[in-house]
Amino acid sequence: MKIIVAGYGNVGSSIAKKLTQEGHDVTVIDNNEKKIHEVSETFDTMAIVGSAASLEVLKDAGIDNADLLIAVTDSDERNLLSCLLAKKCGCKNTIARVRNPELGGGIGIIKDDLKLSLVVNPELSVAEEIARLLKFPAAIEIDTFAKEKVELLKFELTKESPLNGVALKDLAKEIKNKTLICIVERGQEISIPSGDFVLMEGDKISVVTAPKQAYGFFKEANIYTGKARNCMIIGGGVTSVYLAEMLLNEGVSVKIVEKNKARCDYLAERLPGAIVIWGDGADKELLAEEGVDKMDGFVSLTEHDEENVMMSIYCKKKSPNAKVITKVHRSAYDEIITDLNIGSIVNPKLLTAEYIVKYVRSTSNLHSGSMEALYMISSGKAEAIEFKAKEDARITGIHLRDLPIKDNVLVACIIHNKKVEIPNGQSVIANGDSVIVVTTETGFDELADILK
C-alpha cells in the first residue's frame, strides 16, 4: 500500500518504522526539517518538509493516488483538516489522531462527516489499558480478543505459586480452569512453550482464557485478584483526565499530583470527584504526606520517562503491594525497565502502532477476509492474530495435532458460534470459526500461513 504518515513525533516515527518493515511504500510529512532529515537517514522512504494541512504539500507527497493517510501531528485540528483534504484529493482511506477530551463526545459525528476510516487516540487507549490493569492488579498486561470473549493476561510467576516447577503437560493436574499458557518470557528470551517446558519462578507468563475463567485460574495459581480501591496519579495530562474519569465512575478514590498551578485549577474543575494536589510528584516528602504507602494503585504519567521510572521505583519500595503502572515513550528503555521489576509498563507508541498496523493489514487483505484483528504483545516481540476460518482443506476439519503448524506458532483459541474453546490436539477448526493464533514470527496474512 502507498501510505502517507503526517507527523513524525513519537507516534508517527513508530508507525513509519513498523509499516516500512511491513513492506509498504511510506512517505513522511513533518514541518520540522531536522526530523525529516532523521527520516531520510533512518528509512528508505520519501520525506517531505511542510504542513500536513497544506494541499500543495499533500500533493507533493502523492496524495492523489495514496491508499492511506495517517495524520498524527501534534494538532487535532490539523489532523482532521489533513484528512478532509486527502479525501477530497482521492485518497482511499484516512486515519486521524484526536487527543482532546473535549472532542470525545462528538468524535463519532466527526468520523462520519469526514468519512474517516479510523480515529486513534493514544491517550485514551493508554487510560483504558491502565483502568483494566487496576481492575486486575496481578496482571502485568491485559489484552482482549474476539469482542472481549477472550482475554490474554500476563503475570509473573512467584516462588509460592503451585505452577512453579510444573511442566506444561502436567498443568491440568494443578489448574482445573480451562486456560492455555501461550508465551513465556524468561529474562530477555521469549518463547512459545511446548508441553515439556517447565515453569520457573520469575517467568512472565501470558495466559489465554475466557474472562469468566480468569479469576478462577488466578485463584488456583495463588495470585491476588482484588481490584484497586484507591489510586494516586502523577501528572495531570490528557491521559490522566481520561483515566481519572474511568476510575471515578468505577468508585475508585483518585488523587492527582500536578506541578502546574493552572493545570491543577483545570483538573479540579473537570474532575470534581478527584483530589487534586499542586506539587511535584518527584518530591518524596510530598508523596509520603499524601499517603503513597497506603495506595492500592500508583500511576506515573508525566511526559518524562526517567521521572516516571524513578517515581515508580520509590512507590514500589514504600508500598510493595501496590499496583504500579509506568508510562514510557522510549522503547529503548524496555529491557532496562523490565529488569527493575516495577510492575506494568504502558507505551503509547506501541499501542497506537498496534491499532494502525491492524487496520493496514486488514485493509490489505480485504480480498481474503481472513484477518479480523492484530495485536502486538510482549512489548512488540510477539503477535496475537485473530482470523476468520474459511473452508480450506489444509486447515478445516483436521485435528490440530495432525496439522503441520510452523515452529513458534500456537493456536491459542477457537471460537465456534460464540462458544470459546481453549484447544488441545483433538480440537478441530471449522468453517466460520474465529481462530486466535499467537506467534513470535511476523507477516501472517491468512490462517493458512501458519502451516509449514
Q: Domain of 53: which CATH number?
A: 3.40.50.720
Question: Is residue 225 situated within a structural domain?
Answer: no
Q: Is the pLDDT of residue 297 over 60?
A: yes
Tell me the pLDDT tens digit for each residue of 51-102: 999 999 999 999 999 999 999 998 999 999 999 999 999 999 999 998 876 7
- Range 168-181 average pLDDT: 82
Instruction: Give yes or no: residues 208 and 259 share one domain.
Output: no
Q: What is the pLDDT of residue 210?
A: 83
Q: What is the CATH number of the domain that holds 197?
A: 3.30.70.1450
Tell me the pLDDT tens digit for each residue of 101-142: 676 566 777 788 888 998 988 888 899 989 988 988 888 888
| Contact (CB, 8 A) for 131 and 250 | yes
- Range 267-294 average pLDDT: 94
Query: Residue holding cell 499496583?
Result: 323
Distance between CA atoms of 342 and 35, rounded to whole angstroms? Answer: 33
Q: Integer distance in angstroms from the first to the last C-alpha of the chain? A: 27
Instruction: Give yes or no: residues 176 and 109 share one domain.
Output: no
Strands 382-388 and 434-439, bridge-based pairing? antiparallel
Q: What is the pLDDT of residue 243?
A: 96
Given 220, 244, 259, the domain boundary residue is 220
Instruction: Give yes or no: residues 335 and 282 share one domain.
Output: yes
- Range 368-395 average pLDDT: 80
Question: Is residue 179 situated within a structural domain?
Answer: yes
Question: Is residue 180 situated within a structural domain?
Answer: yes
Is 360 or 304 the better-scoring residue by pLDDT? 304
Q: Is the pLDDT of residue 428 over 50?
A: yes
Instruction: Give yes or no: residues 198 and 284 share one domain.
Output: no
Instruction: Give yes or no: residues 200 and 261 share one domain.
Output: no
Distance between CA atoms of 371 and 385, rounded to whole angstroms? Answer: 7
Q: Is the pLDDT of residue 277 over 80?
A: yes
- Range 400-406 average pLDDT: 94
Instruction: Give yes or no: residues 110 and 173 share one domain.
Output: no
Other beta carbons within 10 Å of 264: 18
Distance between CA atoms of 313 and 309, rounded to whole angstroms? Answer: 6
Q: How far is CA 59 from the centre of its chain?
A: 33
Instruction: Give yes or no: residues 45 and 145 share one domain.
Output: no
Given 346, 366, 388, the domain boundary residue is 346
| 3-class DSSP assignment, residue 42 | helix
Instruction: Give yes or no: residues 204 and 268 share one domain.
Output: no
Instruction: Give yes or no: residues 400 and 445 share one domain.
Output: yes
| Contact (CB, 8 A) for 118 and 355 | yes
Is 49 or 139 the better-scoring residue by pLDDT? 49
Is 181 or 177 the better-scoring residue by pLDDT? 181
Instruction: Give yes or no: residues 236 and 275 share one domain.
Output: yes
Query: Which cell goes with 356?
Result: 494502525
Supply angle C-alpha 329, 410, 333, rounded to 5: 15
- Range 167-177 average pLDDT: 82
Phi-psi category of 18—alpha, beta or left, where left has phi over 0 and alpha has psi -120 to 50?
alpha
Query: Residue holding cell 530477555?
Result: 188
Q: Give the confidence band of 377 by pLDDT, cuts at 50, 70, 90.
A: confident
Distance between CA atoms of 248 and 250, rounded to whole angstroms? Answer: 5
By residue range, what is the domain housing residue 56? 2-120
Question: Which candidate, 72, 165, 155, 85, places its Cα nearest to that of 121?
Answer: 72
Number of domains in the chain: 4
Distance between CA atoms of 368 and 443, rounded to whole angstroms? Answer: 15
Instruction: Give yes or no: residues 237 and 198 share one domain.
Output: no
Question: Which candidate, 362, 323, 320, 321, places its Cα nearest to that of 346?
Answer: 323
Supply angle C-alpha 441, 444, 450, rounded to 5: 80
Model-level pTM? 0.77
Distance between CA atoms of 12 and 209, rounded to whole angstroms? Answer: 33
The b/e string for 115-127 (b: 16+ C-beta within 10 A; e otherwise) is: ebbbbbbbbbbbb
Report H helices in 43-147. 55-60, 76-88, 107-113, 122-135
Tell me the pLDDT tens digit for each residue of 217-251: 888 877 766 788 999 999 999 999 999 999 999 99
Strands 253-258 and 409-416, bridge-based pairing? unpaired
Q: What percent of the chain shows pLDDT beyond 90?
A: 49
Q: What is the pLDDT of residue 404?
A: 94
Given 68, 87, 120, the domain boundary residue is 120
Instruction: For the chain, give the mean pLDDT.
Output: 88
Q: What is the pLDDT of residue 369?
A: 53
Residue 353 DSSP symbol: H
Q: What is the pLDDT of residue 48?
A: 95
Instruction: Give yes or no: residues 425 and 391 share one domain.
Output: yes
Q: Give the confidence band of 367 by pLDDT, cuts at 50, 70, 90.
A: very low
| String of DSSP letters for 90-103 | T-SEEEEE---GGG
Strands 409-416 and 419-421, bridge-based pairing? antiparallel
Q: Where are the beta strands (DSSP E) in 193-252?
A: 204-209, 230-234
287 membership: H or E segment, kind and range: helix 284-289
Number of H helices, E strands in the chain: 14, 22
Q: Which amino acid is at 337?
A: I
Question: Is residue 99 situated within a structural domain?
Answer: yes
Q: Is the pLDDT of residue 3 over 60?
A: yes
Q: Which residues contact 310 (CB under 8 A, 6 or more apart)?
A: 282
The alpha carbons of the chain give a radius of gyration, in whole angstroms, of 23
Question: Which candidate, 410, 407, 134, 378, places its Cα nearest to that of 254?
Answer: 134
CA atoms within 13 A on the CB side of 178: 12
Q: What is the pLDDT of residue 174?
A: 77
